[in-house]
Structure 1
């Protein structure tokens, strides 16, 4: 059975560039035989966080949260695609992530960050790294940073930049290694 790695997109803005980055990484993940469903907050239309999924009585959470919880519980790893807003992460991403907790535990995450400029979203990635660890899905050491995303990727998530293709390959190699390592440990039990 292939590894399941939901790709959580962070932006809900019109003309968002993150969809290009999500398509790019999904293409690479699926090219390796991995399952990579897109989790798009714009399509999900999650409300601003009032109650986490776990705070609803069993069977009473909104259907969208039940569907996401089912996917997240089966996940082997998570890929988070984040823009950089004011040196931080987008509010739509934080809202999406904050609806869950235990569903993330003991699974690695990987950060794909991007920006229109040359920094490629790395300042947001540093804050996101701390948040992901607190949620129980620590990020792998590598980042996949995509600077000047408007020129780096086409609308359908393709790139003609050899360095970006090579970086994506190494990034996925590392994520797969962590996913298998933590999957094995989960089968042996977790601290709680």
Structure 2
């Protein structure tokens, strides 16, 4: 029997990656990091991104929980996640925790990668806390991260890294790992739904 190798398989289809900006503070630096990362991800042939901003997800609503409910389909359809987080008081922002805690099955058996930014620690303490949270949600965290130490000094007035080589290399490594895990876990979920 002949096999048509030109027919795309599910495992070869681009990964649907939900990119989550986890800060909602006024004057936040997150949009600069998000724009940089989305540009890097756009250059990766195996990824399609869907952007979620917790600041927009917290628009006023008369119904408790409804503000975050509309992102549930985006999370459910994602094959993988990238969380962009600052570090507040040695951890991650409360709006990000609220978004994570409002969902459960959407995270299961999917990989999560992290891009962090902050002062001297570069947000890495926030990432370490997030790894524990996502493990509890049955998600797999990708080992390599992208972190911006003293982030404000690393970008120019146009929001571009002054020295792009280190962050571009870190992003490529992280995205390559995310694609590997994303494809492996997507195939596993298709063969045997998680928790079934």
- Asked if Structure 1 and Structure 2 have the same fold, meaning a TM-score greater than 0.5 normalized by the shorter chain, the answer is yes
Residue 54 (structure 2) aligns with = 41
Larger radius of gyration: 2
Instruction: Give the structure with the larger strand fraction.
Output: 2
Residue 3 (structure 2) aligns with = none
Native 8 Å contact 2:24 2:55 kept in 1: yes
Residue 160 of structure 1 deviates from its aligned partner by 3.3
Separation in 1, partners of 2:78, 2:157: 27
Cα root mean square deviation, aligned? 2.2
Residue 138 of structure 1 deviates from its aligned partner by 2.1
Separation in 1, partners of 2:172, 2:91: 26
* Deviant stretches of 4+, over 6 Å: none
Q: Which residue of 36, 46, 53 maps to 1:24?
A: 36
Change (3 A) 1:64 1:127: closer
Q: Which residue of 168, 174, 179 maps to 1:176?
A: 179
Deviations 1:15-41 (A, max 9, x none): 101121222221111111422122111
Larger relative contact order (CA 8 Å, sep ≥ 6): 1
Residue 72 of structure 1 deviates from its aligned partner by 1.2
Residue 56 (structure 1) aligns with = none
TM-score by length of 2: 0.83
Change (3 A) 1:10 1:63: closer
Residue 51 of structure 1 deviates from its aligned partner by 6.9
SS at 2:56's partner residue?
Answer: helix
Q: Which residue of 95, 100, 103 maps to 2:98?
A: 95
Separation in 2, partners of 1:3, 1:51: 32
Which moved further from structure 2: 139-148 or 157-166? 157-166
Separation in 1, partners of 2:51, 2:142: 20
Separation in 2, partners of 1:191, 1:99: 19
Native 8 Å contact 2:145 2:171 kept in 1: no
